[in-house]
Amino acid sequence: MLIAAFTSLGCAALLGSALAILHLRAESGTAVPWPLAALHALLGVGGLGCLILALRGPSRGLAEGTAIFGMISAVLIVATALLGGSIFLMHCLRARRGGALIGLHATVAVCGIAVLAAYLFAG
């Protein structure tokens, strides 16, 4: 289940990178394709669900000192989901999506995936 979470979140990150590039190249007022954004959200939430289910299982990484990394990663991915939801809310309200909010969403997501990678590969 942990490998499924890592794979799903990794695919969501790659798709998010493509969405960020599309956002940066788009003219003002045009939005990124909503099916890609929906797939990005679905992969991210699915990966978070897999991660939460994996954390309910047996402990891993106690000998290496990485036992808490799974919980840290889950908290960071939840924060990422909340930031993504705020980006979606701004889109629904027709407010201008700030690049800073998208950058913060991406930064927190990459941190969460990096901690998850350390938890998966070191544990």
Across the range 102-115, mean pLDDT stands at 96
2-25 helix and 99-122 helix, angle to the nearest 10 degrees: 160
pLDDT at 58: 81
Distance in Å from the first CA to the final CA of the chain: 14
Mean pLDDT of 5-30: 88
Which residues are CB-neighbours of 38 under 8 A, at least 6 positions away?
none
3-state helix/strand/coil string of the chain: CHHHHHHHHHHHHHHHHHHHHHHHHCCCCCCCCHHHHHHHHHHHHHHHHHHHHHHCCCCCCCCCCCCCHHHHHHHHHHHHHHHHHHHHHHHHCCCCCCHHHHHHHHHHHHHHHHHHHHHHHHC
Q: Is the pLDDT reported for residue 123 higher than 80?
A: no
Q: What is the pLDDT of residue 109?
A: 97
Residue 100 has pLDDT above 70, yes or no: yes
- Residue-wise pLDDT tens digits, 71-94: 999 999 999 999 999 989 988 887
Q: What is the pLDDT of residues 26-85, one digit of tens each?
A: 776 667 788 999 999 999 999 999 999 999 988 887 878 888 999 999 999 999 999 999
